[in-house]
């Protein structure tokens, strides 16, 4: 999604800004731009193509400067055309980049029009640039602080003013912004990753903060206007360039990285110890009587899977909610419920807002399951479990999902132990099974050639149905999500028992029905559901465990999973669905790592 980079230095910083944008490219964008302070005010270059095109423009220009801001835009208000690309100018005096959404932009636009400002873009961002211009009285820092009091919504901004060389002012509310500290130069970005290579010292700004970068320092004011001292964090060698290696796409690479990612995520402890979740976990876990899991998209599906583990192993009531729904509905808070937020990025706006909402309702104990240790979510929760998937570049989440499942299984086992529901024998059995997971995953990955053969068929379809039962129903949901987001095939998932309550009407020869069929207690029920589809001429594509006795037949295509993996089976069964989506998308020729309209980290509502 949108990305910000800013810099103040005694050298030409255009290459730093462009490199920052390059590092943020994987998050998804549809236009980009850069502005520097020239002798007569800000000058800019913008592109509706890739950052590489912007780079070519700045070289040709050439565009040079020591104070600058840059942006990748993921369109929300206004189409991805040059006029809407940031930096947005006000009267050739103020230049501004913005992540987020300004909810009251229409009333502000009317007010500013009344003051004689002319709008040349359809963006909500343009109101911020004009607003700052309208209240500027010789000090940009003060003007920004004054202007943001009129904004409703979420934003991270970086601003330049013609009359203030060597100054970039930033502000954040609801969208992340981080300051990078250099020697005689300072930086600003929406993600520390953008500044790798320029600095390893960062200040993660807090909600409501306004900062002013100059050559020799950074000044920060909190939301009340008081000088704020923020911790400087050392983030070493943050995200070096990620190589594709022998793979065609990052998504494929990330699918194949799962055995390593899981090895790194499994705790090194010899038991399910509360300390895995942080210092205060023993106390917090002892006080809770239920769980409330909040997440979006794929992370939500990992929460749905975990509900089965938490209720069956730990016997603890668990509610799982889509973060964007929870934050706006009236719920009945239970202060004894542990709020668990799950997120790859730790910056998803809806999940962050849901966390805050839960806290405001009196939920005391919070835990983040997250892939980014420096993220807002980890900073805003009492406890955390870091997944060690490593950087996920492909927009479609894969290794983040399976490592989240590992984390959540460890949580379920830890709570089970604490609540007296886990025998020593079960504990060592689960630990052994967890440690064997990477090897089991390698056997599943070896099924790739068979899945490629199926993907040829799928690539010619426009619809697909995914079925699962019990804890494999969320896996069917995840399989359908993967297929739709990267191959653009319409896909839906159902718990197989629901088939005859409606979706069976869709089943014809043209509708492939993907079925997740582990050898668990629900297998016989699932076999009946399979027959219901066959009887209607449906084409079944079944991922069955080796010992299910489901065999290839007319209209019944079977890929055999190497072994049944008990409670951890969802972690294995999702992998062939990831591969099916990936190879189907390749066969259809889509942009697998950057599917249309999607962004890696959804930092707006
Ligand atoms: C789908 C996908 C998204 C994310 C969702 C939440 O492949 O990646 O559905 O899972 O946007 O993102 P995080 O986990 O970063 O909060």
pLDDT of residue 242 exceeding 70, the answer is no
244 lies in some domain: no
pLDDT of residue 241 exceeding 80, the answer is no
Which of 296, 321, 484, when mutated, tests ligand 1's pocket best, judged by the most ligand atoms within 8 Å of its CB? 296
- Band (pLDDT 50/70/90 cuts) for residue 228 is very high
> What's the pLDDT score for residue 549?
87
Distance 296 CA to ligand 1 centre (A): 6
594 lies in some domain: no
Distance 122 CA to ligand 1 centre (A): 28
- Band (pLDDT 50/70/90 cuts) for residue 215 is very high
Q: Is the dihedral of CA 181, 184, 188, 192 positive or negative?
A: negative
Distance 115 CA to ligand 1 centre (A): 42
Look-up of token digits 């976990």: 281
| Domain shared by 100 and 86, yes or no | yes
Distance 351 CA to ligand 1 centre (A): 10
> What's the pLDDT score for residue 172?
96
Which of ligand 1's atoms lies nearest the C-alpha of 398? Answer: 7
pLDDT of residue 605 exceeding 80, the answer is no
List, for residues 162-201, the tens digit of each pLDDT value.
999 999 999 999 888 999 999 999 999 998 889 988 999 9
Which of ligand 1's atoms lies nearest the C-alpha of 298? Answer: 10
pLDDT of residue 240 exceeding 60, the answer is no
List, for residues 346-388, the tens digit of each pLDDT value.
999 999 999 999 999 999 999 999 999 888 899 999 999 999 9
Look at ligand 1, atom 16, and give the residue with the nearest C-alpha: 343
| Domain shared by 315 and 332, yes or no | yes
Cα–Cα distance for residue pair 179/8, rounded to 1 Å: 11
242 lies in some domain: no
| Domain shared by 89 and 160, yes or no | yes
Instruction: State what percent of residues in the chain have pLDDT above 70.
Output: 99
Q: Which residues, 6+ apart, have CB-to-CB distance to 534 below 8 Å?
A: 540, 555, 556
Which of 293, 299, 302, 483, when mutated, tests ligand 1's pocket best, judged by the most ligand atoms within 8 Å of its CB? 299
| Domain shared by 362 and 263, yes or no | yes
Write out the DSSP string of 241-277: PPP-TT-SSHHHHHHHTHHHHHHHHS---SS--GGGG
Look at ligand 1, atom 9, and give the residue with the nearest C-alpha: 297
Lowest-confidence pick of 24-38, 278-292, 453-467, 574-588: 24-38
Stated as kind and residue range, the H or E segment containing 293 is strand 290-295
526 lies in some domain: yes
Distance 342 CA to ligand 1 centre (A): 10
Look at ligand 1, atom 10, and give the residue with the nearest C-alpha: 298
pLDDT of residue 399 exceeding 60, the answer is yes
What CATH number does residue 196 fall under? 3.60.20.10
Look at ligand 1, atom 7, and give the residue with the nearest C-alpha: 396
Q: What is the mean pLDDT of the chain?
A: 94
pLDDT of residue 76 exceeding 90, the answer is no
| Domain shared by 439 and 457, yes or no | no
Question: Tokens at residue 430, please?
Answer: 């689960």
What CATH number does residue 429 fall under? 3.40.50.10490
pLDDT of residue 18 exceeding 80, the answer is yes
Which of ligand 1's atoms lies nearest the C-alpha of 396? Answer: 7
List, for residues 543-579, the tens digit of each pLDDT value.
999 888 888 888 899 999 988 899 999 999 999 999 9
Higher pLDDT, 422 or 523: 422
Ligand 1 site residues (CB inside 6 A) read 296-299, 343-345, 348, 351, 396-397, 481, 485, 601-602
Residue span of the structural domain in which 528 resides: 448-588
| Domain shared by 14 and 155, yes or no | yes
509 lies in some domain: yes
What is the pTM (predicted TM-score) of this model?
0.84
| Domain shared by 525 and 438, yes or no | no
> What's the pLDDT score for residue 598?
87
pLDDT of residue 77 exceeding 90, the answer is no
Number of independent structural domains in the chain: 3
Question: Catalytic site residue 600?
Answer: yes
Angle separating helix axes 125-135 and 105-114, nearest 10 degrees:
40
600 lies in some domain: no
| Domain shared by 282 and 140, yes or no | no
| Domain shared by 92 and 50, yes or no | yes
List, for residues 521-532, the tens digit of each pLDDT value.
888 889 988 888
Look-up of token digits 């509706």: 48
> What's the pLDDT score for residue 436?
95
Alpha helices in 488-550 (DSSP H): 523-534
575 lies in some domain: yes
| Domain shared by 301 and 220, yes or no | no
List, for residues 435-473, the tens digit of each pLDDT value.
999 999 999 999 999 999 999 999 999 999 999 999 999
| Domain shared by 117 and 180, yes or no | yes
Look at ligand 1, atom 8, and give the residue with the nearest C-alpha: 397
Q: Which residues, 6+ apart, have CB-to-CB distance to 448 below 8 Å?
A: 579, 583
Which of 249, 293, 324, 348, when mutated, tests ligand 1's pocket best, judged by the most ligand atoms within 8 Å of its CB? 348
Convert 126-162 to b/e letters by CB count within 10 Å (16 or more is b): bbbbbbbbbebeebbbbbbbbbbeebebbbbbbbbbb
| Domain shared by 209 and 132, yes or no | yes
Angle separating helix axes 569-588 and 473-487, nearest 10 degrees:
20
67 lies in some domain: yes
pLDDT of residue 597 exceeding 90, the answer is no
| Catalytic residue of the set 2, 32, 211, 586 | 2
pLDDT of residue 239 exceeding 60, the answer is no
Residue 149 has φ and ψ, to the nearest 5°, of: -65, -20
Distance 157 CA to ligand 1 centre (A): 24
Which of 352, 397, 405, when mutated, tests ligand 1's pocket best, judged by the most ligand atoms within 8 Å of its CB? 397
Among residues 381, 416, 444, the one where a domain terminates is: 444
Distance of CA 228 to the CA centre of its chain: 29
Q: Work out the average pLDDT over 396-422.
A: 98
Among residues 444, 463, 483, the one where a domain terminates is: 444
Distance 287 CA to ligand 1 centre (A): 30
Question: Tokens at residue 364, please?
Answer: 């005391």
């Amino acid at each position: 999604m949108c990305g910000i980079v800013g810099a103040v230095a005694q050298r030409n910083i255009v290459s730093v800004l462009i490199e920052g944008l390059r590092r943020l490219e994987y998050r998804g964008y549809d236009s980009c731009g850069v502005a520097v302070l020239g002798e007569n005010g800000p000058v800019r270059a913008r592109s509706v193509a890739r950052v590489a095109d912007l780079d070519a423009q700045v070289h040709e220009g050439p565009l040079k400067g020591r104070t600058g801001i840059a942006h990748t835009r993921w369109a929300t208000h206004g189409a991805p055309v040059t006029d809407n690309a940031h930096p947005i100018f006000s009267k050739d005096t103020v230049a501004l980049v913005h992540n987020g959404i300004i909810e009251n932009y229409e009333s502000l636009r009317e007010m500013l029009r009344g003051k004689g400002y002319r709008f040349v873009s359809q963006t909500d961002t343009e109101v911020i640039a004009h607003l700052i211009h309208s209240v500027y009285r010789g000090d940009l820092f003060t003007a920004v602080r004054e202007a943001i009091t009129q904004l409703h919504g979420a934003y991270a901004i970086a601003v330049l003013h013609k009359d203030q060389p060597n100054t970039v002012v930033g502000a954040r509310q609801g969208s992340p912004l981080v300051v990078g500290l250099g020697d005689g130069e300072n930086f600003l970005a929406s993600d520390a990753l953008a500044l790798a290579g320029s600095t390893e010292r960062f200040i993660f700004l807090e909600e409501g903060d306004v900062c002013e970068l100059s050559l020799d320092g950074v000044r920060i004011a909190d939301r009340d206007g008081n000088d704020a001292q923020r911790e400087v964090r050392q983030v070493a060698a943050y995200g070096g360039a990620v190589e594709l290696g022998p793979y065609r796409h990052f998504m494929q690479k990330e699918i194949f990285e799962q055995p390593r990612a899981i090895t790194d995520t499994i705790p090194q402890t010899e038991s399910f110890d509360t300390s895995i979740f942080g210092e205060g976990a023993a106390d917090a876990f002892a006080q809770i009587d239920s769980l409330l899991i909040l997440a979006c998209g794929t992370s939500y599906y990992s929460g749905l899977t975990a509900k089965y583990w938490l209720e069956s192993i730990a016997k603890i009531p668990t509610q799982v909610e889509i973060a964007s729904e929870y934050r706006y509905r009236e719920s009945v808070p239970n202060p004894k419920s542990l709020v668990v937020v799950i997120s790859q990025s730790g910056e998803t706006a809806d999940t962050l807002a849901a966390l805050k909402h839960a806290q405001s309702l009196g939920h005391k104990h919070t835990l983040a399951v997250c892939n980014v240790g420096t993220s807002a979510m980890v900073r805003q929760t009492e406890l955390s479990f870091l997944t060690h998937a490593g950087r996920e570049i492909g927009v479609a989440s894969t290794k983040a999902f399976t490592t989240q499942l590992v984390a959540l299984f460890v949580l379920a086992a830890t709570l089970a132990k604490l609540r007296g529901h886990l025998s020593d024998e079960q504990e060592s059995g689960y630990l052994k099974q967890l440690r064997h997971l990477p090897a089991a995953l390698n056997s599943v990955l070896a099924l790739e050639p068979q899945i490629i053969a199926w993907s040829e068929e799928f690539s010619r379809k426009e619809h697909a149905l995914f079925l699962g039962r019990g804890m494999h129903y969320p896996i069917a949901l995840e399989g359908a999500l993967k297929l739709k987001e990267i191959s653009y095939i319409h896909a839906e998932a159902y718990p197989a028992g629901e088939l005859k309550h409606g979706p069976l009407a869709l089943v014809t020869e043209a509708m492939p029905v993907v079925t997740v069929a582990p050898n668990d207690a629900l297998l016989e029920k699932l076999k009946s559901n399979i027959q219901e589809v066959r009887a209607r001429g449906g084409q079944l594509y079944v991922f069955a465990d080796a010992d299910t006795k489901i065999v290839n037949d007319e209209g019944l295509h079977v890929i055999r999973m190497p072994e049944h993996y008990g409670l951890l089976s969802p972690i294995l069964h999702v992998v062939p669905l990831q591969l099916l989506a990936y190879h189907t998308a390749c066969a259809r020729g889509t942009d697998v790592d950057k599917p249309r309209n999607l962004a890696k980290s959804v930092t707006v509502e």
